[in-house]
């Protein structure tokens, strides 16, 4: 009887560890699949205001590919709007991700990530609210700008338990996962140089994850025989235990126009790959000129 209880405890603990690693990987994976330089002003980290446009909405389809399998796995929507944070004017940048199809049957995901910035585009607060197969989890990051260091209060909890409650400090800029996308969209195309590297420090739970974008040049993306996109291509290196391959863990193609919208992202998995494709957009700040529609014959 005791031996059977011990086996049950070990099995339960293994499930908890496995699920924790999978959630961590998916948290990074979802954002990297829809992803540069951020500006540093007076020792405080600030994004370019170019990245924000009130009312912008961008939609993506996520696919899982392995051999002949090419299954749609999720839908993602990004929105930008003016809002209030602590009764003050702010920008709100939000991602809603919902699994569908095969992924939904294996591991149901319904995540909402929300990030608030000051009117001058400094990072204030972010949270990730997860409903993953009936497992509810909230991650909160509160950013306090200082002259000398970046200071972030990190809190992770379920409806019944606090899992993380700590303060993280570091030299240089610290970001949440969502703001790295806006960093990518803040790049000045005129400043791009072949093999240029853009490193970031991203807070995930109690850890700092190092991410690096590496620019490889211009490229044309052809999602089908009637559509092409002119883009800039970047590899993404992710130095985190959740990824079995750090270098070139993912790659992103960003539209070569003034909107700087990622139009395709590919991430390597242990089995197969995940790909995200631009689906639709509304209320963009500039004409979407990177898209080339090929007339039907």
Q: What is the pLDDT of residues 231-245, one digit of tens each?
A: 999 998 888 765 556
pLDDT range class, residue 151, cuts 50, 70, 90: very high
Residue 110 lies in a domain: yes
Q: Is 276:246 a contact under the CB 8 Å cutoff?
A: no
DSSP letter for 56, please: -
pLDDT at 183 over 60: yes
Give the mean model confidence (pLDDT) for residues 24-35. Answer: 54
Domain that holds residue 96: 2-209
Give the mean model confidence (pLDDT) for residues 155-183. Answer: 91
Distance CA 26, CA 19 (A): 10
22: left (phi over 0), alpha (psi -120 to 50) or beta: alpha
In the chain, what's the furthest Cα-to-Cα distance? 74
Residue 64 lies in a domain: yes
pLDDT at 247 over 90: no
Residue 21 lies in a domain: yes
Neighbours of 16 (CB within 10 A): 10
Distance CA 155, CA 132 (A): 18
Q: In percent, how much of the chain has pLDDT > 70?
A: 79
Residue 88 lies in a domain: yes
Residue 145: strand pairing partners? 150
Name the token pair of 133. 């197969």
Query: What's the confidence (pLDDT) of residue 4?
Result: 41
pLDDT at 55 over 80: yes
Residue 42 lies in a domain: yes
Domains: count for the chain:
1
Q: What is the CA radius of gyration of the chain?
A: 20
pLDDT range class, residue 218, cuts 50, 70, 90: very high
Give the mean model confidence (pLDDT) for residues 268-276. Answer: 78
Beta strands in the chain (DSSP E): 39-41, 44-46, 57-66, 69-85, 88-99, 109-117, 123-132, 135-145, 150-157, 162-170, 197-204, 207-224, 227-239, 250-255, 262-268, 273-282, 291-293
Query: What's the confidence (pLDDT) of residue 31?
Result: 58
Residue 70 lies in a domain: yes
Range with the lowest mean pLDDT among 34-43, 48-57, 86-95, 117-126?
34-43
Q: Is 240:218 a contact under the CB 8 Å cutoff?
A: no
Distance CA 259, CA 290 (A): 9
Residue 61 lies in a domain: yes
Residue 48 lies in a domain: yes
């Amino acid at each position: 009887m005791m031996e059977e209880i011990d086996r049950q405890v070990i099995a339960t603990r293994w499930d908890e560890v496995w699920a924790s690693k999978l959630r961590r990987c998916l948290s990074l994976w979802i954002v990297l699949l829809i992803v540069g330089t951020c500006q540093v002003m007076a020792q405080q980290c600030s994004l370019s205001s170019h990245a924000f446009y009130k009312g912008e909405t961008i939609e993506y389809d996520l696919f899982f590919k392995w051999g002949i399998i090419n299954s749609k796995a999720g839908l993602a929507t990004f929105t930008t709007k003016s809002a209030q944070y602590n009764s003050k004017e702010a920008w709100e940048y939000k991602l809603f991700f919902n699994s569908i199809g095969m992924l939904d049957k294996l591991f149901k995901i319904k995540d909402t990530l929300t990030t608030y910035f000051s009117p001058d585009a400094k990072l204030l607060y972010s949270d990730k609210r997860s409903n993953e197969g009936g497992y509810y989890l909230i991650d909160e990051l509160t950013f306090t700008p200082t002259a000398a260091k970046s200071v972030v209060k990190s809190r992770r909890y379920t409806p019944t338990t606090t899992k993380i409650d700590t303060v993280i400090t570091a030299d240089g800029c610290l970001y949440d996962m969502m703001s790295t996308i806006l960093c990518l969209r803040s790049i000045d195309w005129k400043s791009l140089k072949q093999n240029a590297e853009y490193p970031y420090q991203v807070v995930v739970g109690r850890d700092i994850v190092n991410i690096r974008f590496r620019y490889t040049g211009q490229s044309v993306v052809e999602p089908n025989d009637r559509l092409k996109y002119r883009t800039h291509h970047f590899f993404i290196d992710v130095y985190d235990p959740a990824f079995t391959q750090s270098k070139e863990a993912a790659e992103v193609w960003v539209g070569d126009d003034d909107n700087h919208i990622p139009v395709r992202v590919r991430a390597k998995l242990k089995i197969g790959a995940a790909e995200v494709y631009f689906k639709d957009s509304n209320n963009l700040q500039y004409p979407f000129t990177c898209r080339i529609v090929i007339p039907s014959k």
